[in-house]
Each structure stands twice: as structure tokens, then as C-alpha cells.
């Protein structure tokens, strides 16, 4: 695992136990799944590249727009679905035909893969990347590599 991937996994795990709070990104105080990824970005990369606009729980479903996917493409490196690595940001489609609107960080692999995510009514948890979750994955991204001068 690269230094960057290791740092992403470590940072994501420091968020475990943070309560679920819609539209928030504060470790220990509250976050949603996007807030978790934003917080990991701040912890590993630095300043966020953009602040998301206010968003509702339906996250652009009425318009059918893949806003979360588009934002990830603007700031992260897209990967092939079969190129799984620890530290990947995973984008999930929770229902067939719905927009993709859930994020997590891939934290372990092997026979029992896991991911950290902020889940309504559960807060930030590390969950098994079980078959029901894995079949919902629609995209994988990795954090950009920092350029060192």
C-alpha cells in the first residue's frame, strides 16, 4: 500500500464513532458520507478544493443528475471498478435507476474487505464490504497525489 493510501485509511478510521449529521463534516461532532470524505481530504491533502452547495437527502434524485459523481471526477482520480485498492473512495448507487449518492473509503481487503462510511442512524462505522454493498459500487476514485517541491 502506498503512503497516500495508508494515510487515507488511517484518517478514515479516526472518524469512526462520529455521529451522522446531514451536511456536516466535523470529526467527532457530526458528518454525512460526503462530510466524511471531505474530512479525510482535509486530514490527508489539506484545504478542500470546493465547498459543496446545500443539498437535500434526496441528493439530486428528482433531477436525475449525478452531481456527486461529477464532483468526484473534478477532484479525484477515477479508477476501473476492478482496480480496487485500500484508500479508494467508493461511490454507491443505493437503488437501481437512482443516482449514486453514497460514499465510503475502502479500508481492508482479502477474504473480509471493509469500508468506512457515515450511515444514517449509525454514524461513521467500518462495515463489511459484503456482496449487497459490493454490487452497489458504481465508481472508484483515489485521492490526488501531492506534488512535492
What average pLDDT does range 82-111 have in this prediction?
94
* pLDDT at residue number 57: 67
Cell numbers 477515477 label which residue? 78
Length of the chain: 149
What average pLDDT does range 89-108 have in this prediction?
94
Using DSSP's 3-state secondary structure scheme, residue 69 falls into: helix
When pLDDT is cut at 50, 70 and 90, the band that residue 146 belongs to is: low
**Average pLDDT over all residues of the chain:** 92
Q: Give dist(CA 149, CA 136) in Å, integer.
A: 39
The answer to whether 104 and 92 are in contact (CB under 8 A) is: yes
The answer to whether 115 and 133 are in contact (CB under 8 A) is: yes
Q: Where are the alpha helices (DSSP H) in the chain?
A: 3-14, 33-44, 67-75, 131-134
- The closest of 107, 141, 140 to 124, measured between CA atoms, is 107
* pLDDT at residue number 65: 84
What average pLDDT does range 32-39 have in this prediction?
97
What's the pTM value of the predicted model, to 2 decimals?
0.92
Q: Into which CATH architecture does domain 3-54+62-142 fall?
A: Alpha-Beta Complex (3.90)
- Helix and strand totals (H; E) in the chain: 4, 8
List, for residues 41-94, the tens digit of each pLDDT value. 999 999 999 988 877 666 666 667 898 999 999 999 999 999 999 999 999 999
Is the pLDDT score of 124 beyond 70?
Answer: yes
* pLDDT at residue number 51: 87
* pLDDT at residue number 52: 85
* pLDDT at residue number 97: 87
> CA 72, 42, 9: angle at the middle one, nearest 5?
80
The answer to whether 128 and 114 are in contact (CB under 8 A) is: yes
Amino acid at each position: 500500500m502506498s503512503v497516500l493510501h495508508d494515510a487515507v485509511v488511517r484518517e478514515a478510521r479516526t472518524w469512526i464513532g462520529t455521529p451522522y449529521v446531514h451536511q456536516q463534516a466535523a470529526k467527532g461532532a457530526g458528518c454525512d458520507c460526503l462530510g466524511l470524505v471531505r474530512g479525510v481530504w482535509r486530514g490527508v491533502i489539506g484545504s478542500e478544493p470546493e465547498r459543496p452547495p446545500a443539498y437535500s437527502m434526496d441528493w439530486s434524485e428528482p433531477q436525475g443528475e449525478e452531481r456527486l459523481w461529477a464532483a468526484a471526477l473534478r477532484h479525484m482520480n477515477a479508477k476501473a471498478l476492478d482496480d480496487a485498492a485500500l484508500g479508494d473512495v467508493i461511490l454507491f448507487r443505493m437503488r437501481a435507476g437512482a443516482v449514486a449518492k453514497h460514499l465510503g473509503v475502502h479500508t481492508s481487503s482479502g477474504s473480509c474487505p471493509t469500508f468506512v462510511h457515515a450511515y444514517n442512524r449509525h454514524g461513521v462505522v467500518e462495515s463489511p464490504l459484503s456482496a449487497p454493498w459490493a454490487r452497489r459500487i458504481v465508481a472508484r476514485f483515489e485521492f490526488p497525489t501531492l506534488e512535492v517541491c
